[in-house]
């Protein structure tokens, strides 16, 4: 049931006869929700800055856009999800240093990075994970969401997010904590034998030598050679040569020299050999969350892959609830 709360996060009540779509972790600014209701069910409490949520889940956000359609006779409420709100915050380096650097226990670091930015909406627990990071360096001007997820990924942890309301008379809050990634690929493999459908594509003719040209002219131009390795890493030492070498030039004159490699690596990963697959995670019958890993094996070709869950699209249409799971790199 979708709950509506005021801007102080005090519950108003359920939104009835609503069609809901929530994309907690869509690409870039697509971490959004949409609620459509017939115009006759709209109330004045369905206004900007009020909250919608499904208790005990990650599915919710803040109303930031209202569309009304008199032809089709509906009102649509839209806004950023909790991850979307984190996506719209930027980690800026301190004024006297080039990078934001952190050390400490995971939840302690998250608390220091997240709670001050959201005026009490986000709460990170005091309990410790027993896992620490040391001198972790965030990318310059990365998003709060991307930075935190990337930091946790270095120690095989992920974000767990849910909306909680512990006491009926008190405001609810968004509970955020670091939890270990669960790798289901070692427990469950999908195959034709199990009658679960998937599509798998392994590309091995992608670019493996990216010639990056930065600022400057002719002999003064900044040139960087980056090379792909079989394990998917990017190095300045060459692995593929001769007929196996596939080259491309990437021109970037707008990025400062110190940040050129980061920008170039992002572009390189779009061009490199890669593995992609999609599958029906819903039929697994397990409670996977964003960041957990699932695997697939095709016993005909012998191909095997595992990928993290990147998004869980939650829907309510005509009172029927659905969940659609998207894997990392899979189109929405």
Convert the pLDDT of each residue in 272-331 to its tens digit. Answer: 877 776 666 666 667 789 999 887 777 777 777 778 888 989 999 988 988 888 877 666
CA distances from 190 to 29, 43, 309 (A): 32, 46, 15
Alpha carbon dihedral 38, 39, 40, 44, in 10-degree steps, equals 120
pLDDT digits (tens, 9 = 90+) for 13-53: 999 899 999 999 977 778 999 999 999 999 999 999 999 99
Residue 117's SS3 state is helix
Distance, CA of 156 to chain centre: 15
Nearest to 31 by CA among 263, 270, 298, 290: 290
Residue appearing with tokens 């405001």: 171
Higher local confidence (pLDDT), 216 or 310: 310
pLDDT at res. 251: 87
**In angstroms, rounded to a whole number, what is the distance separating the alpha carbons of residues 145 and 143?**
5
Question: Does the pLDDT of residue 102 top 80, yes or no?
Answer: yes
CATH fold of 89-180, please? Phage tail protein beta-alpha-beta fold (3.55.50)
Residue tagged 């060459």 (tokens): 238
192 pLDDT higher than 50: no
- Cβ pair 306, 198 in contact under 8 A: no
Task: Give the span between the Cα atoms of 174 and 250, in whole angstroms.
Answer: 42
- The answer, as to whether pTM is greater than 0.85, is no
What is the structure's pLDDT at 29?
78
Is 263 in contact with 252 (CB distance < 8 Å)? Answer: yes
Output the CA torsion sign for 230, 233, 239, 241: positive
| CA dist., res. 294 & res. 143, Å (int) | 26
Other beta carbons less than 10 A from residue 324's beta carbon? 15
Binned at pLDDT 50, 70 and 90, residue 261 comes out as: confident
* 89 and 100 Cβ atoms separated by less than 8 Å: no
Of 89, 15, 86, give the one whose Cα is nearest residue 53: 15
What is the model's pLDDT at position 285? 66
* Res 107 pLDDT > 60: yes
Confidence of residue 139 (pLDDT cuts 50, 70, 90): very high
Q: Return the percentage of the chain with pLDDT > 70, whole number.
A: 90
Confidence of residue 77 (pLDDT cuts 50, 70, 90): very high
Chain segment 42-65, per-residue pLDDT in tens = 999 999 999 999 999 999 999 999
Tokens encoding 167: 């006491």
**Whole-number pLDDT of residue 196:** 58
Q: What is the mean pLDDT of residues 222-245?
A: 92
For the chain, the domains span 3-80, 89-180, 184-202+275-311, 209-271
Give which of 159, 143, 155 is closest to 103, Cα–Cα. Answer: 155
| DSSP line for 90-108 | EEPPPTTSSS-EEEEEHHH
First to last CA, the chain: 24
């Amino acid at each position: 049931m979708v709950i509506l709360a005021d801007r102080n996060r005090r519950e108003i009540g359920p939104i009835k006869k609503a069609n809901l779509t929530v994309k907690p972790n869509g690409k870039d600014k697509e971490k959004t929700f949409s609620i459509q209701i017939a115009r006759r069910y709209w109330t004045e409490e369905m206004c900007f800055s009020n909250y919608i949520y499904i208790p005990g889940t990650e599915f919710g956000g803040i109303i930031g856009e209202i569309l009304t359609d008199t032809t089709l006779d509906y009102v649509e409420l839209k806004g950023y999800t909790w991850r979307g709100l984190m996506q719209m915050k930027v980690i800026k380096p301190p004024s006297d240093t080039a990078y934001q650097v952190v050390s400490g226990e995971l939840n302690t670091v998250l608390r220091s990075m997240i709670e001050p930015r959201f005026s009490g909406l986000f709460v990170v627990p005091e309990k410790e994970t027993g896992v620490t990071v040391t001198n972790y360096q965030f990318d310059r001007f990365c998003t709060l969401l991307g930075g935190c997820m990337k930091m946790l990924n270095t120690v095989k942890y992920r974000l767990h997010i849910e909306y909680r309301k512990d006491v009926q008379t008190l405001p609810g809050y968004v509970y955020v904590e670091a939890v270990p990634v669960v790798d289901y690929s070692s427990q469950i493999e999908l195959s034709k034998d199990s009658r679960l459908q998937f599509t798998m594509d392994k590309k091995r003719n992608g670019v493996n030598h990216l010639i990056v040209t930065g600022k400057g002219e002719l002999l003064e131009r900044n040139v960087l050679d980056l090379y792909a390795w079989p394990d998917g890493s990017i190095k300045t030492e060459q692995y593929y040569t001769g007929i196996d070498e596939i080259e491309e030039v990437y021109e970037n004159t707008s990025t400062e020299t110190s940040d050129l490699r980061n920008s170039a690596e992002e572009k390189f990963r779009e061009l490199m050999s890669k593995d992609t697959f999609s599958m029906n995670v819903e039929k697994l019958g397990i409670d996977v969350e964003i960041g957990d890993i699932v695997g697939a094996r095709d016993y005909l070709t012998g191909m095997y892959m595992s990928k993290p869950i990147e998004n869980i699209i939650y829907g309510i249409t005509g009172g029927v609830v659905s969940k659609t799971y998207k894997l990392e790199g899979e189109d929405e």
